[in-house]
Chains A and B, each alone.
Chain A
């Protein structure tokens, strides 16, 4: 089987840890937190391409949707993260990925996820906290720029070790 099972398991575990951490950290701190699930999705999609990236995003989004207390409408986070995975996967390049490109893809995915959330809020009639949305967007883009190169190089090392 050509799919590296170890990498898939590692991605799944990372998604679970990120999803649990985002709700438990939000319960403990009052600060605006970045999106922790998105860097995992972006890193996996940058390594594997659009369709696998979208599947990874879908899985991560369903974890976010089902992690108590859950989304207001089930399935919204899944679709938004699947879109982010598709976008990041479309940005895959052969060979080594330059840092600037990773940062651009991460920022684009952060904008996509934030836009998706704003659309969901507008459709469900929820109040939008604009300062919070802006801070979260900035923090998420920053976290993607920092974390995605680390995750990508880890995955490359993992793939090289298996060969």
Chain B
């Protein structure tokens, strides 16, 4: 290949790359298929290299039975984590697909912002489902390929979760610690509440729930308030939250299969 034609090829490819970048930043459709194509081609490679095999079977009941039978699995880390996940109070009565973290994106300057799970659309996973570990909320599914899915984790710049905080159930939202008026160290989240003085350090922050149960059902633990910003000039009261989930030690997680309810709710009569 001659030097001029190679340079021309380079310029064309760079322009295409900038075009894709612009499309992705502007949030238009068209980039999604590219991501899922990448997941479909490269995802199986990651599944192949995932640590161990078998404990995170797609069927929860069979996984549970297998664990009960297999005494040795009590000693394995993955089996222990799956047991903790099944016994977690957050998940009681909720249907979930057990999955294993097979890839962690740490290419950015921050900690992990996106992780890959070894379940995909063939396992009934779709975008906008929430992902939980035994400690609480991990994140939201943003891209699905046939055998893997990508999860945007709590604390990344693009994820904001509606929450209730404190004993009074004050409404608020939790987002990345780098956004907002007070810059927080990496690993801390920023909580914005609607009412001043309603949260204290130590208060538990749980999800508020979304319309139709997706992406976030209500009552999942997000974290705990560590400090409240007492600055009189602030327009909105804010606080620092330590996430309930340690993202660096994620192993077995569950994808919650929530959706809009299908049964009508009965009306009540007041007896006072």
* Co-complex (A, B): yes
Question: Chain A interface (Cβ within 8 Å of chain B)?
Answer: 2-3, 20, 22-24, 26-28, 30, 33, 51-52, 54-55, 58, 62-79, 82, 114, 117-118, 120-121, 124-129, 132-133
Q: Determine which residue in A2, A3, A26, A30 has the highest number of CB atoms from chain B within 10 A of its CB, and name it.
A: A26
Question: Chain B interface (Cβ within 8 Å of chain A)?
Answer: 1, 3, 6-7, 9-10, 13-14, 17-18, 20-21, 24-25, 31, 34-35, 37-39, 42-43, 45-46, 49-51, 101-116, 143, 145, 148, 150-151, 155-158, 176-179, 184-187, 248-249
**Quick one: which of B24, B45, B51, B104 contacts A69, CB cutoff 8 A?**
B104
Contact check, A23 vs B116: say whether CB atoms are below 8 A apart: yes
Contact check, B178 vs A58: say whether CB atoms are below 8 A apart: no
Q: A22-B106, A55-B13, A66-B38 are in contact. List 17 more A-B contacts (CB 8 A).
A: A23-B103, A24-B49, A68-B145, A68-B148, A69-B150, A73-B21, A75-B18, A79-B18, A125-B176, A125-B179, A126-B109, A126-B110, A127-B111, A127-B176, A127-B177, A128-B178, A133-B109
Q: In the assembled complex, how far is the CB of residue A114 from the closest CB belonging to chain B, in whole angstroms?
A: 8
Residues on B with C-beta less than 8 A from A117 are: 107-109
Q: In the assembled complex, how far is the CB of residue B152 from the closest CB belonging to chain A, in whole angstroms?
A: 8
Residues on B with C-beta less than 8 A from A69 are: 103-105, 114-116, 143, 150-151
Residues on B with C-beta less than 8 A from A77 are: 107
A8, B173: Cα distance in complex, Å: 50
Given A58-B10, A67-B42, A68-B116, decide whether A126 and B105 contact each other with a Cβ distance below 8 A. Answer: no
Q: In the assembled complex, how far is the CB of residue B55 from the closest CB belonging to chain A, in whole angstroms?
A: 15
Residues on B with C-beta less than 8 A from A28 are: 51
Contact check, A74 vs B14: say whether CB atoms are below 8 A apart: no
**Quick one: which of B35, B104, B249 contacts A74, CB cutoff 8 A?**
B35
Supply 8 A–B pairs (Cβ within 8 Å), ascending by A. A26-B105, A27-B103, A27-B116, A68-B38, A68-B39, A70-B38, A70-B143, A127-B155
**Quick one: which of B18, B46, B179 contacts A20, CB cutoff 8 A?**
B46
Contact check, A54 vs B111: say whether CB atoms are below 8 A apart: no
Contact check, B42 vs A68: say whether CB atoms are below 8 A apart: yes
**Quick one: which of B13, B178, B249 contacts A30, CB cutoff 8 A?**
B249
Contact check, B106 vs A26: say whether CB atoms are below 8 A apart: yes
Contact check, A72 vs B102: say whether CB atoms are below 8 A apart: no
Q: In the assembled complex, how far is the CB of residue A106 from the closest CB belonging to chain B, in whole angstroms?
A: 18
Q: Is the interface of B mostly helix, strand, loop or mixed?
A: mixed
A76, B25: Cα distance in complex, Å: 10
A3, B42: Cα distance in complex, Å: 27
Residues on A with C-beta less than 8 A from B111 are: 127, 129, 132
Chain A: which residue is nearest B22 at the CB level?
A75
A2, B156: Cα distance in complex, Å: 46
A77, B189: Cα distance in complex, Å: 26
Residues on A with C-beta less than 8 A from B31 are: 74
Contact check, B108 vs A72: say whether CB atoms are below 8 A apart: yes
Q: Determine which residue in B3, B7, B21, B50 has the highest number of CB atoms from chain A within 10 A of its CB, and name it.
A: B21
Contact check, B109 vs A118: say whether CB atoms are below 8 A apart: yes
Residues on A with C-beta less than 8 A from B150 are: 68-70
A48, B3: Cα distance in complex, Å: 12
A22, B104: Cα distance in complex, Å: 8
Contact check, A75 vs B10: say whether CB atoms are below 8 A apart: no
Given A24-B49, A55-B9, decide whether A79 and B108 contact each other with a Cβ distance below 8 A. Answer: no
Chain B: which residue is nearest A86 at the CB level?
B10
Contact check, A70 vs B35: say whether CB atoms are below 8 A apart: yes
Smallest CB-CB A-B distances: 4 pairs: A66-B38, A75-B21, A69-B114, A23-B103
**Quick one: which of A55, A65, A120, A121 contacts B6, CB cutoff 8 A?**
A55
Chain B: which residue is nearest A24 at the CB level?
B49
Contact check, A30 vs B102: say whether CB atoms are below 8 A apart: no
A24, B20: Cα distance in complex, Å: 26
A24, B102: Cα distance in complex, Å: 6
Chain B: which residue is nearest A28 at the CB level?
B51
Residues on A with C-beta less than 8 A from B176 are: 125-127
